Structure 1
């Protein structure tokens, strides 16, 4: 591995001033008829990503694509608009990064030119000054010494050391990092917390409770909360900053929660502890928690109509300024009048986009970071100067995407057959809206939120090819209240599947979808739902696309001797029996809802794709299903990306896969099908 720190280079990106009346990508006038955007426009890696403003607000760091395709770390001096490439590698990409202080950055690596099965290195850990000086490796990338049994003495931290997702104090060369306890391949223990000097590499471990899985730093950037999990129980522990001793605040069931359950959110500048909890409500909200009594405040600090709270608090100069949240889309609630006024100024300059404003943590300049996007505009990054009231365009994730060619996305809700309201996202091709071929895109998880309003590569690609896209947030999806989540327990292939079918009927009744040209598609759980949709509703779905999909619930729960799964033993023992189905008590239900055992009932055209290195849904799932359906269905297309894991990490494979999908859909519900 070779690191290159360049002190004198040509500008890597342009900081282009935008006047108040300037035209941004989101407001560009409609162009003349143009060729369809290519698959690469949607599925290549972003050209610019991850911009973060420095604690003072004078500098901006971001990842940029180098000429050889590798992503490097660059820093912009916002006073002079000068740019420096401060770190890149010849055999890896810069991965995650964050500011240690105004002079120094911490980062790790990834490899976007290798699939999961071909990767032989960890993320490593590195630090460098904003001018490219004092580069230092802090953690190893290789795990060879563990696999061979040799003992290599080194002052580097082991490869299983990782960055935290929290910014820390940002006032010294120290940071906190995580080190997972490594017991051997596939066997991970608790998560340690280390205080690390990014200049010297010296580190000390923080005393922790047993079975720690997560940490929260307080308003001073010091460890204050530890979350533990063992035998299906989670607990929240509080650290005494004077003694370093821990005491438990509350415990609850890891996968099903309980009346005392909460999720730590943040400590305010005044030491107030904010948490996210249901507190007997259907929708989770932000509360204050009394650290002495572990009691929640009577009223929530922030609650969102129709949605569980998801987001974070925004602090600057030791003051709580506002809160970032997600409802149908992301938004910001400012408590500070100055920030409210600034948001209004920015929104007036960028009226067609959502504009997310992030102030520096220790602001000494008038600069704030602005990230703008819409359903037709991929994210762009700008810097706003609150004194001059000017915007500088810094970078675009996908500059080749033309907003005037993109499709409108709408957040809707439809009623399931038992009356439950199902949220969904509908993307309609540009200039069209009636009797269209439609793809029902089912999200994975399933116990996650599927999406939000904004530019989506998959939905926009399908819409660009003339398909309406329906993405239902079927019961069991999170983010829409406790009732919606719990209504999905043990409903794989049953009511969760009915919700998807009811969405199709809604689209047909609205005149949006042609009932004879509808395909179902999805990955992971979405792949499972694709197969069960073809089983349960052959009259609705003319074809299916399943990638990395579960093909049998019992196989997922019990595994097979021929592969190693990355599903934890605790999830299998305490989560699956309650949320999905007990392999013993619910055996008959799991048989009836097994695509593998129902394979003979699937006669529609089907595209199957799996990753050869997938540990979440191992290739065995796909192979068993392919063999089971072969005698009954001759319209099955099969592809394995040998180096890929649970999804397609490599652009070449994403492009190849969606090329196949485009041809498959065109044949069965697209232009070719319409001619028949």
Structure 2
């Protein structure tokens, strides 16, 4: 692995302190850190300049995955600077960051980091590879001391007894931590394939040496394990030809039995974790068409469910948050309740009264934001908050319950001026068949929904997934496009998650059909409101959004002036064939997209590369050669089809690029291509006061 020890890090920037009390919050400014990393700086923004610098949007976030050490004395984070990503630590009360590991993101990228004790941090990394000519993503798990020494690859390949072939094949995924064992501090439970098995076993791994001992052997069809609060493996998720079973045992490891068995998604149960009581299991399941959280007593054979949290408007998100002191479940690690008004009891996801009051005070001090509690020190006196809002890029705050202060640590996009960022406006509309849709309209600064004014050049921006959704939170793509003078339209079309089972299921096997119609209907709503200029609309997307962009100019070419696809799908039968190479891939592809043979006519009709002759407008294609989510040959095939049909297109292939634009150089190049292409095709009005 080409990680290296780094030069001293530049310092973080000026911060602020909020004084938190249950009833009130006062604001004070302090010079906590000096100027931000020189490599992350952009040229000064002159007064009354139309556009903020492209690099301010396209650069990787300055900091990500900020974590608090168990004793609350240190911070670890991933810092992006000068095209590299640095795993760094620094004392909470000092300003002397230390670089532990650095990658240039050419071969390896960081996934996440996590403190395992006050002296060691675990780091997951990923890289593109191949196994028997099948393209894969591989992960590795590293342990490193806070001074940068003692780096250990935690999964070493054993040499089979009597083998003359050398090391056994390496595990593909080596970072699936099942349990952090916080009261231990020297070991973690790691899910790895068992000896001679494709099914996972569970190992107790020493974070200092990598030595491991199997604590639960693999079992046929079980693909995921879950431990209880005492670190005992208690639940296994079994998959077999579309049948999902949740199996569990007693605390002594005996009497394994099936708790739930389902064939339909609406009947599924997702185990979340155990309470401090080893017979109390938290689960997610559908309740009145929305995902909700329940507790179940495993010592009651009837498995009655006690509803803990439900939202009539949306699926409940988040994951269990435990007290480092007692191990009890405090609530869900989730943000503020956006639906609640000032008179409501907010923070319903936080069941512990003391922490609920703390978070309610933070929500008052940082209003109109999603304030997420990330980490709590073992003495529960210090904590980390990630705060993001509509038109407000993310910020990391350090809280101190003794002093009542909440201190700004870092901004993710420090070069962006929030006062010059447009806000998303939620709107509701109906699809042509009456299905309600939640959409977001982001107007350029200076324009408001309902204002008189000329229709705007418009970008329709379908999200990826499609198992994902858009919301009011900050995202650099939307902010960038609005800054460039475009109306940006986003919609949670059928098939999007977060809006219940029926809305999600309505998108099954409807790629290019009703899912695409929802996008068209959103645009037609905007043109009917005289917001969007029907002569200047481009459809832009990534991944599934890239597919939707291409399919949009195939199915309804009259609606668009151009299309942009980053890492988009273009040939559905080929995608299904590719997915069939991976475990469970064929079943999932057939469930969500269709059967390659039985649905072949529909799949061909809704494959943009096979319908390129219908396209009438210019197309921009960008794809990375190391993409392991959507293979690069999907865009290669599309480019070839456009060329054969004599269409206008531009294809940019990013050598070594992945599905996530992990390299800053690739992000900058894509945003530059996007800006140039849209300027050429839509000619937005650039002058703004």
Query: Do they fold alike, i.e. is TM over 0.5?
Result: yes
Rounded Cα–Cα distance in structure 1 between residues aligned with 2:540 and 2:83: 31
TM-score by length of 1: 0.85
1:349 maps to 2:365: yes
Partner residue in 2 for 1:377: 392
Contact 1:522–1:530 (Cα < 8 Å) also in 2: yes
Greater mean alpha carbon deviation, residues 523-532 or residues 94-103: 94-103
Partner residue in 2 for 1:480: 499
Over aligned residues, Cα RMSD in angstroms? 3.6
TM-score by length of 2: 0.84
Partner residue in 2 for 1:463: 482
Provide the secondary structure at the position in 1 that maps to 2:510.
coil
Contact 1:47–1:64 (Cα < 8 Å) also in 2: yes
1:190 maps to 2:199: yes
Partner residue in 1 for 2:17: 18
Contact 1:122–1:159 (Cα < 8 Å) also in 2: yes
State which of 212, 217, 220 in structure 2 corresponds to 1:203: 212
Rounded Cα–Cα distance in structure 1 between residues aligned with 2:577 and 2:538: 31
Contact 1:278–1:284 (Cα < 8 Å) also in 2: yes
State which of 510, 520, 526 in structure 2 corresponds to 1:501: 520
Q: How does 1:416-565 map to 2 (within 5 A)?
A: 416-433=431-448, 434=453, 435-446=455-466, 448-559=467-578
Contact 2:445–2:482 (Cα < 8 Å) also in 1: yes
Measured against aligned partners, the alpha-carbon deviations of 1:324-357 in whole angstroms (never above 9, x if no partner) come to: 3479969943222322322233234333533223
Contact 2:199–2:219 (Cα < 8 Å) also in 1: no
Provide the secondary structure at the position in 1 that maps to 2:557.
coil
1:174 maps to 2:183: no
Distance 1:326 1:415, change over 3 A: farther
Greater mean alpha carbon deviation, residues 595-604 or residues 206-215: 206-215
- Runs of at least 5 residues in structure 1 that lack an aligned partner in the other structure: 560-564
Contact 1:15–1:392 (Cα < 8 Å) also in 2: no
Partner residue in 2 for 1:656: 669
Rounded Cα–Cα distance in structure 2 between residues aligned with 1:613 and 1:77: 37
Greater mean alpha carbon deviation, residues 376-385 or residues 294-303: 294-303
Distance 1:514 1:231, change over 3 A: same
Deviation at 1:173, TM superposition (A): 0.4
Provide the secondary structure at the position in 1 that maps to 2:143.
strand
Measured against aligned partners, the alpha-carbon deviations of 1:511-532 in whole angstroms (never above 9, x if no partner) come to: 2211211111212222222122
Deviation at 1:220, TM superposition (A): 2.3
State which of 262, 265, 268 in structure 2 corresponds to 1:257: 265
Provide the secondary structure at the position in 2 that maps to 1:630.
helix
Rounded Cα–Cα distance in structure 2 between residues aligned with 1:10 and 1:476: 44
Contact 1:603–1:633 (Cα < 8 Å) also in 2: no
Rounded Cα–Cα distance in structure 2 between residues aligned with 1:498 and 1:139: 48
Q: How does 1:264-283 map to 2 (within 5 A)?
A: 264-271=271-278, 272-278=280-286, 281-283=288-290
Distance 1:568 1:201, change over 3 A: closer
State which of 665, 668, 671 in structure 1 corresponds to 2:681: 668
Partner residue in 2 for 1:128: 144
Deviation at 1:223, TM superposition (A): 2.6
Partner residue in 1 for 2:381: 366
Partner residue in 2 for 1:562: none
- Runs of at least 5 residues in structure 2 that lack an aligned partner in the other structure: 19-25, 32-44, 340-345
State which of 226, 240, 253 in structure 2 corresponds to 1:243: 253
Rounded Cα–Cα distance in structure 1 between residues aligned with 2:512 and 2:195: 37
Rounded Cα–Cα distance in structure 2 between residues aligned with 1:90 and 1:631: 41
Greater mean alpha carbon deviation, residues 161-170 or residues 423-432: 161-170
